[in-house]
């Protein structure tokens, strides 16, 4: 695990964006695993800028997002599909059909999860997986618990996560109680992982990830077992290391 500490999130995001950019230059049809949330927004803006200025080309790129709320359609402003369209896909030259976000409204969620895993494998696996982290150590929506769940699955969100994400909704009651997420196995099978965390609220979880032993009570701690993880932090997220 390589850990880089930057003065501020924008600088960290610019550095992280260079990994996605250089991957695209080497492999134009690269498969990216993507994340939502506040953390990656400056990185997505940087990638959109590079694309606009003709430095990188997304026309053959394929993406699979980590997660989605169960019960929200893609046109709901708090859905992760809406977020990705709004923050990245509508600003780069990626063919829309190359972008994948799990459906939160599939009639058969078990089939949706199994099909999602199958599609990633058929695409050749994820070349670079982007990750943020929850205050409780979650990656994707893999919440703290007694085990690591390997495959894409649905789960009940913790109150901690619902509260943290309520800022994207009108009120706490509107935050869905369930989500579909890639599993820890999908993440661990990525060839390379780019991990971002900013702010004091993430410092304890980041300490558990970097300094602790692998435990499902901090799901991010499994990343210590991956051979190619680069961690981009600001000073606050790194303050307990
Ligand atoms: C989002 C995701 C989550 C977020 C995490 C941090 O697709 O998988 O694990 O990365 O909840 O969210 P922010 O960046 O909003 O603090």
Q: How confident is the model at residue 133 (pLDDT cuts 50, 70, 90)?
A: very high
Q: What is the mean pLDDT of residues 16-29?
A: 98
Give the mean pLDDT of the chain: 97
Active site residues: 67, 136, 138, 143
Please determine, for residue 8, whether its predicted confidence score (pLDDT) is greater than 90. yes
Using CA atoms, how far residue 5 sits from 11, 21, 200, 227, in Å, is 10, 20, 13, 20
Q: What are the strands, taking DSSP E only, across 133-205?
A: 153-156, 178-181, 192-197
pLDDT-derived band at 9, boundaries 50, 70, 90: very high
Nearest atom in ligand 1 to 140's CA: 8
Which pLDDT does position 32 carry in this prediction? 99
- Residue 108 confidence class, pLDDT cut points 50, 70, 90: very high
Residue 185 Cα to ligand 1 middle (Å): 18
Ligand 1 centroid, distance to 37 Cα (angstroms): 5
Across residues 107-114, what is the average pLDDT? 98
Has residue 176 got a pLDDT over 90? yes
CA–centroid distance, 202 to ligand 1, in Å, is 11
Q: Which atom of ligand 1 is nearest to the CA of 37?
A: 15
Q: Which atom in ligand 1 lies closest to the alpha carbon of residue 138?
A: 9
Q: What is the pLDDT of residue 206?
A: 98
Q: Could you tell me the residue ranges of all domains in the chain?
A: 2-221
Distance between CA atoms of residues 105 and 172, nearest Å: 20
Stretch 154-165: mean pLDDT: 95
Q: Residue of the nearest CA to atom 4 in ligand 1?
A: 132
**Residue nearest to ligand 1 atom 11, measured at CA:** 134
Which of 134, 167, 199 has most ligand 1 atoms within 8 Å of CB, for mutation?
134
Using CB distances shorter than 6 Å, the residues near ligand 1 are 35-39, 66-67, 80, 132-134, 138-141
CATH number of 2-221: 3.40.50.1360
When pLDDT is cut at 50, 70 and 90, the band that residue 163 belongs to is very high
Checking if the pLDDT of 156 tops 90, the result is: yes
pLDDT at 212: 87
Q: What percentage of residues in the chain have a pLDDT greater than 70?
A: 100
Separation of 56 CA from ligand 1 center, angstroms? 25
108 burial level (CB within 10 Å; 0-12, 13-18, 19+): exposed
146-164: average pLDDT:
95
Q: Would you state the structure tokens that stand for residue 187, as one six-digit string?
A: 């993440």
Q: Tell how far the Cα of 140 is from the centroid of ligand 1, in angstroms.
A: 7
């Amino acid at each position: 695990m390589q850990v880089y500490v930057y003065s501020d999130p924008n600088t960290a995001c610019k550095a992280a964006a260079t990994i996605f950019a250089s991957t695209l230059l080497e492999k134009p049809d690269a498969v990216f695993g993507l994340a939502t949330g506040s953390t990656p927004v400056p990185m997505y803006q940087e990638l959109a800028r590079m694309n606009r200025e003709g430095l990188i080309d997304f026309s053959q790129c394929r993406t699979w997002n980590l997660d989605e709320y169960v019960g929200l359609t893609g046109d709901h402003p708090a859905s992760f599909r809406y977020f990705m369209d709004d923050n990245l896909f509508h600003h780069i030259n990626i063919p829309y059909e190359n972008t994948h976000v799990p459906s939160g409204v599939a009639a058969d969620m078990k089939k949706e999860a199994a099909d999602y895993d199958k599609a990633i494998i058929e695409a050749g696996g994820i070349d670079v997986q982007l990750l943020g982290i929850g205050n409780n150590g979650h990656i994707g929506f893999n919440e703290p618990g007694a085990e690591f769940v390997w495959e894409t699955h649905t789960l009940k969100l913790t109150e901690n996560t619902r509260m943290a994400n309520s800022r994207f909704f009108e009120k706490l009651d509107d935050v869905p109680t369930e989500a579909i997420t890639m599993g820890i196995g999908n993440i661990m099978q990525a060839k390379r992982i780019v991990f971002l965390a900013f702010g004091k609220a993430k410092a304890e979880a980041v300490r558990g990830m970097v300094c602790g032993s692998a435990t499902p009570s901090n799901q991010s701690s499994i990343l210590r077992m991956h051979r190619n993880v680069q961690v981009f932090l600001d000073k606050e997220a790194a303050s307990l290391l």
